[in-house]
């Protein structure tokens, strides 16, 4: 988990694509006779945070995510903002939720959307603690020491699609070899003919099933490759925009810098949409899982 805002969890593909913070202080002007005004420090401004999010039907329900954020906004909820490592950023209220639809289904259901969420620091009473996490009222960075994680057994390596297909083919060959052994035993008279026929029939059904499974996995792998065809082009574009930014030097015009960053951001979003579609498909039964 990257961060938690109240009950809103930002993790994985739901993590903010960009994050900006604003902070400042106030000064009062004191008019002086025959002199320039004097300044008096009067305190800090409330902190502001803007989160840029991408919600896609490939990994979440965009409508439900946006509705939950808007509900927290109109309910004037005071939300503790906590990083995944336990650092407390502070308490905030949501002041705006700006939605930019990117794709709808044929029936008009929102499928992909960019969302900007504006947060304003809240310095009033304590907000309720986020589930499973202790929130301290002090806004300064507080490190919460989590309990030691339970000892986990070593992770089992995840087989690749090629490993799985090869395993199915190996099972088929083993069953065929057992069929040949059955025929040999019948010829030698160590196994009765009827039993041999029954065993061969059973093994033939086993071969058919494992080969059918292998065929399905091959077809699903082809589908994943087809869905991934757009990704190399998207990545090439993003790499080029990033290289251009990496070479910028002595830029005098803010608009030039902003334009280049916005271009890279749009390209990165395109890569994200292409990649999430592939990952989501791979995780389905049709994709082989």
Three-class secondary structure assignment of 114-181 = EEEEEEEECCCCCCCCCCCCCCCCCCCCCCCCCCCCCCCCCCCCCCCHHHHHHHHHHHHHHHHHHHHH
pTM of the entire predicted model: 0.43
Whether 62 and 56 have beta carbons less than 8 Å apart is answered as yes
Q: Where are the beta strands (DSSP E) in 17-154?
A: 18-22, 25-30, 38-44, 48-56, 79-83, 88-104, 110-121
Share of the chain above pLDDT 70, in %: 71
- Looking at the DSSP bridge assignments, the partners of residue 50 are 20, 118
Q: What is the pLDDT along the chain (289 residues), one digit of tens a residue?
A: 788 898 898 888 888 888 888 888 888 888 888 888 888 888 888 999 999 999 998 888 989 999 999 999 999 999 999 888 888 888 999 999 999 998 888 888 888 999 999 999 998 765 444 444 444 444 443 444 445 555 556 555 555 667 777 787 888 788 888 888 888 888 888 888 888 888 888 888 888 887 888 788 777 777 777 766 666 666 777 777 677 767 666 655 666 667 767 776 776 776 666 666 566 555 555 555 5
What's the chain's average pLDDT?
Answer: 77
Report the pLDDT value the prediction gives residue 91, as an integer from 0 to 100: 92
Q: Which residue has the tokens 């209220």?
A: 93
Q: Which fold has domain 3-29+39-121?
A: Elongation Factor Tu (Ef-tu); domain 3 (2.40.30)
Report the pLDDT value the prediction gives residue 117, as an integer from 0 to 100: 94
Q: How far is residue 110 from each of residues 61, 74, 107, 114, measured CA to CA in Å? A: 9, 21, 9, 11
What is the dihedral sign for C-alpha 147, 151, 157, 159?
Answer: negative
- Looking at the DSSP bridge assignments, the partners of residue 117 are 51, 97
* Closest listed residue to residue 115, CA positions, set 74, 71, 57, 56: 56
Distance CA 206, CA 174 (A): 10
Report the pLDDT value the prediction gives residue 145, as an integer from 0 to 100: 46
What residues contact residue 55 under an 8 Å CB cut-off, 6+ apart? Answer: 14, 62, 65, 66, 112, 113, 115
Tokens of 270: 């395109």
Report the pLDDT value the prediction gives residue 162, as an integer from 0 to 100: 72
Q: How far is residue 133 from each of residues 6, 84, 121, 126, measured CA to CA in Å? A: 10, 10, 19, 14
Report domain extents, the chain: 3-29+39-121, 161-282
């Amino acid at each position: 988990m990257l961060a938690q805002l109240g009950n809103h969890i930002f993790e994985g593909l739901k993590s903010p694509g960009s994050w900006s913070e604003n902070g400042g202080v106030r000064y009062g002007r004191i008019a002086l006779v025959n002199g320039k005004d004097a300044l008096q420090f009067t305190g800090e401004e409330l902190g502001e945070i803007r989160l840029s999010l991408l919600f896609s039907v490939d990994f979440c329900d965009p409508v439900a995510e946006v509705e939950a954020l808007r509900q927290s906004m109109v309910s004037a909820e005071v939300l503790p903002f906590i990083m995944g490592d336990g650092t407390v950023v502070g308490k905030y209220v949501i002041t705006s939720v700006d939605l930019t639809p990117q794709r709808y289904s044929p029936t008009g259901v929102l499928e992909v959307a960019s969302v900007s969420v504006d947060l304003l620091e809240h310095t009033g009473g304590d907000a309720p603690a986020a589930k499973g996490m202790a929130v301290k009222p002090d806004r300064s960075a507080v490190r919460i020491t989590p309990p030691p994680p339970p000892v986990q057994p070593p992770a089992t390596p995840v087989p690749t699609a090629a490993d799985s297909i090869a395993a199915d083919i190996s099972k088929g060959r083993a069953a065929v070899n057992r069929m040949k052994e059955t025929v040999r035993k019948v010829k030698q008279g160590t196994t009765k003919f009827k039993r041999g026929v029954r065993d061969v029939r059973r093994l033939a059904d086993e071969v058919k099933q494992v080969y059918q499974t292998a065929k399905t996995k091959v077809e699903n792998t082809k589908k994943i490759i087809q869905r991934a065809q757009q990704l190399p082009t998207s990545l090439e574009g993003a790499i080029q925009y990033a290289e251009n930014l990496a070479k910028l030097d002595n830029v005098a015009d803010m608009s030039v810098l902003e334009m280049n960053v916005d271009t890279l951001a749009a390209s990165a979003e395109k890569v994200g949409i292409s990649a999430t579609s592939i990952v989501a498909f791979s995780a389905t039964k049709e994709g082989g899982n």
